[in-house]
């Protein structure tokens, strides 16, 4: 009976191989593979809970240190908490001015461009009918945080501040800001401007992509020539201590802005660029004007020493890419399916701790979400996570393999195999031959079993006769 059961089991497995109607599956954890893929930024946010122990202490309601190459938050606190951005609102106004105006354009000042600004706010002192250049207005906005300069730029672009704030909000959304809302172009405390450390980092990143912004915001002093109404020049000095003092001078400073609000406290937005690697730091709600500078320098220094950013070389992942396709095709042997289309999308950079990088890493793919129904002839699409696993056990998603599995008849081949009646019968003949061989083995096994049974019965009969 054992032999008969073994034969039947073999027959079932063989039939299943030649007539597949099964699901090849490994751990169906994801209802939607795309939903199951952790985004790059979310994966890298693990650095906030897996950070080196010696990171600097930063004072502020919220802060962030952001690596622009890899879209990575290196350190932070309340990075997505909404807070009044105060005067660093001007970053968005200047960005839109650089993107929409020629710096040599001129603005003819009207009363709405300065009327209504609170008395204690910094202003350039423009007056009705005065003609000033866009370049001078941007210098005034970035170096002295002059509010009338921002109003001039806003009304020059949109005709009214209310229309311009709509443009500000649209541009913020385009940059990926999810918690930012502007109602004022220069950061009036009475208005309901709201943003986050993370969103302001995205805005400053876009600003520093423009060399004009970097050059202007890192200028020590700018001389604004006389205008049609005032023959005297104006001296516009940079109030940012990264530029105006030796004590807080920072060699890698690449532009930014500071601000203050009675309800929130001190704020600072700063960019640094060291050997082509750009970091953005934002501190909102600091309690001390000078401390925000020293905290920012500490953040930058720690960002460059404790974390490293690596380029992702696609060529390095090609063997893994080819092996994965080969592995899937091997699993589909004997079925009507194969990989029809495939591509690989990788992030350009990966950021992690410098100590972790020194340990080394390996590359792999996560096939746990790959579920191929071999009974279906419909195209099946899969997004397979590409992983870099460091030797301390830390894993990062660095991209995805896009795989489409479909019926082999739909494959385009350089030398396609012709389908003939013989090719259609070949598989059936092979199946019949295998079944005949198994049948012969079964018959032979039964014959041997019967012979042994007869011999055993004969011996038992003879033994009984001897006993009698």
Is the distance from CB of 383 to CB of 37 less than 8 angstroms? Answer: yes
Q: Please indicate, yes or no, whether residues 64 and 160 belong to a single structural domain of this protein.
A: yes
* Predicted local distance difference test score (pLDDT) of residue 26: 28
**Structural tokens at position 316:** 């390095």
Q: Please indicate, yes or no, whether residues 217 and 286 belong to a single structural domain of this protein.
A: yes
Q: Please indicate, yes or no, whether residues 126 and 253 belong to a single structural domain of this protein.
A: yes
Q: Please indicate, yes or no, whether residues 233 and 355 belong to a single structural domain of this protein.
A: no
Q: Report the C-alpha gap between 124 and 197 in whole angstroms.
A: 28
* Predicted local distance difference test score (pLDDT) of residue 29: 32
366: Cβ–Cβ under 8 A, 6 or more apart, which residues? 384, 385, 387
* Predicted local distance difference test score (pLDDT) of residue 464: 62
Please check whether residue 338 lies inside any domain of the structure.
yes
* Residues in the chain, pLDDT under 50: 1-45, 412-419
Q: Please indicate, yes or no, whether residues 133 and 272 belong to a single structural domain of this protein.
A: yes
* Predicted local distance difference test score (pLDDT) of residue 189: 81
Q: Please indicate, yes or no, whether residues 301 and 320 belong to a single structural domain of this protein.
A: no
Helix, strand, coil % over all residues of the chain, rounded to 5? 40, 25, 35
* CATH number of domain containing 320: 3.10.129
Q: Report the C-alpha gap between 406 and 387 in whole angstroms.
A: 25
DSSP track, 355-375: HHHHH-EEEEE--TT-EEETT
* Predicted local distance difference test score (pLDDT) of residue 37: 38
* Predicted local distance difference test score (pLDDT) of residue 463: 65
Q: Please indicate, yes or no, whether residues 186 and 90 belong to a single structural domain of this protein.
A: yes
Domain boundary among 410, 433, 450: 410
* Predicted local distance difference test score (pLDDT) of residue 10: 44
- The answer to whether the pTM exceeds 0.85 is no
Please check whether residue 448 lies inside any domain of the structure.
no
Is the distance from CB of 336 to CB of 377 less than 8 angstroms? Answer: yes
Q: Please indicate, yes or no, whether residues 290 and 377 belong to a single structural domain of this protein.
A: no
Q: Report the C-alpha gap between 369 and 186 in whole angstroms.
A: 49
Q: Please indicate, yes or no, whether residues 141 and 238 belong to a single structural domain of this protein.
A: yes
Domain boundary among 308, 332, 363: 308
Q: Map tokens 């592995």 to a residue.
A: 327
Task: Name the residue range of residue 349's domain.
Answer: 2-30+312-410
Q: Report the C-alpha gap between 97 and 231 in whole angstroms.
A: 26
Task: Give the DSSP letter of residue 419.
Answer: -
Q: How many domains does the chain have?
A: 2
Q: Please indicate, yes or no, whether residues 300 and 319 belong to a single structural domain of this protein.
A: no
User: Residue 191 region, left (φ>0) first, then alpha (ψ -120 to 50), else beta?
Assistant: beta
419: Cβ–Cβ under 8 A, 6 or more apart, which residues? 409
Domain boundary among 394, 410, 426: 410
Please check whether residue 447 lies inside any domain of the structure.
no
Please check whether residue 109 lies inside any domain of the structure.
yes
Please give the angle made by the CA atoms of 155, 160 and 161, to the nearest 5 degrees: 85
Q: Please indicate, yes or no, whether residues 84 and 188 belong to a single structural domain of this protein.
A: yes
Please check whether residue 37 lies inside any domain of the structure.
no
* CATH number of domain containing 87: 3.40.710.10
């Amino acid at each position: 009976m054992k032999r008969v059961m073994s034969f039947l089991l073999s027959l079932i497995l063989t039939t299943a191989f030649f007539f597949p109607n099964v699901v090849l599956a490994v751990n169906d954890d994801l209802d939607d593979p795309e939903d199951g893929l952790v985004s790059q930024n979310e994966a890298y946010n693990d650095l906030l809970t897996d950070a080196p122990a010696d990171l600097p202490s930063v004072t502020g309601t919220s802060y962030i240190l952001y690596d622009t190459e890899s879209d990575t938050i290196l350190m932070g606190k309340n990075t997505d908490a909404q807070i009044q951005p105060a005067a660093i609102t001007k970053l968005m106004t200047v960005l839109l001015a650089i993107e929409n105006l020629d710096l040599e354009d001129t603005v003819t000042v009207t009363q709405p461009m300065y009327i209504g600004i609170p008395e204690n706010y910094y202003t350039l002192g423009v007056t009705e009918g005065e003609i000033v250049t866009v370049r001078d207005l941007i210098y005034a906005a970035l170096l002295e945080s002059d509010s009338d300069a921002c109003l001039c730029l806003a009304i020059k672009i949109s005709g009214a501040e209310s229309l311009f704030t709509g443009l500000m909000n649209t541009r913020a959304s385009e940059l990926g800001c999810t918690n930012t809302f502007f109602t004022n172009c220069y950061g009036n405390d009475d208005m309901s401007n709201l943003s986050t450390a993370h969103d302001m980092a995205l805005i400053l990143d876009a600003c520093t992509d423009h060399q004009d912004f970097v050059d202007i915001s890192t200028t020590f002093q700018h001389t604004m020539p006389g205008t049609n109404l005032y023959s005297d020049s104006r001296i516009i000095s940079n109030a940012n201590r990264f530029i105006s003092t030796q004590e807080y001078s920072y060699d890698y400073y690449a532009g930014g802005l500071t601000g203050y609000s009675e309800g929130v406290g001190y704020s600072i937005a700063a960019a640094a660029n060291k050997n082509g690697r750009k970091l953005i730091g934002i501190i909102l709600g600091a309690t001390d004007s000078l401390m925000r500078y020293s905290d920012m320098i500490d953040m930058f220094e720690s960002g460059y020493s404790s974390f490293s950013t690596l380029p992702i070389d696609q060529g390095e992942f090609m063997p893994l890419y080819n092996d994965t396709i080969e592995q899937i095709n091997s699993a589909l042997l004997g079925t009507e399916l194969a990989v029809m289309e495939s591509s690989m999308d990788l992030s350009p950079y990966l950021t992690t701790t410098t100590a972790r990088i020194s340990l080394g890493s390996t590359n792999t793919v996560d096939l746990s979400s790959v579920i191929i129904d071999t009974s279906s002839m419909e195209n099946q699409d899969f997004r397979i996570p590409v992983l870099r696993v460091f030797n301390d056990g830390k894993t990062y998603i660095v991209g995805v393999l896009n795989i489409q599995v479909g019926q082999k008849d739909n494959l385009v081949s350089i030398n396609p195999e012709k389908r003939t009646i013989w090719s259609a019968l070949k598989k059936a003949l092979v199946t019949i031959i295998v079944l005949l061989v198994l049948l012969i083995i079964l018959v032979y096994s039964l014959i041997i079993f019967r012979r042994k049974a007869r011999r055993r019965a004969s011996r038992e009969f003879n033994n009984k006769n001897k006993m009698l």
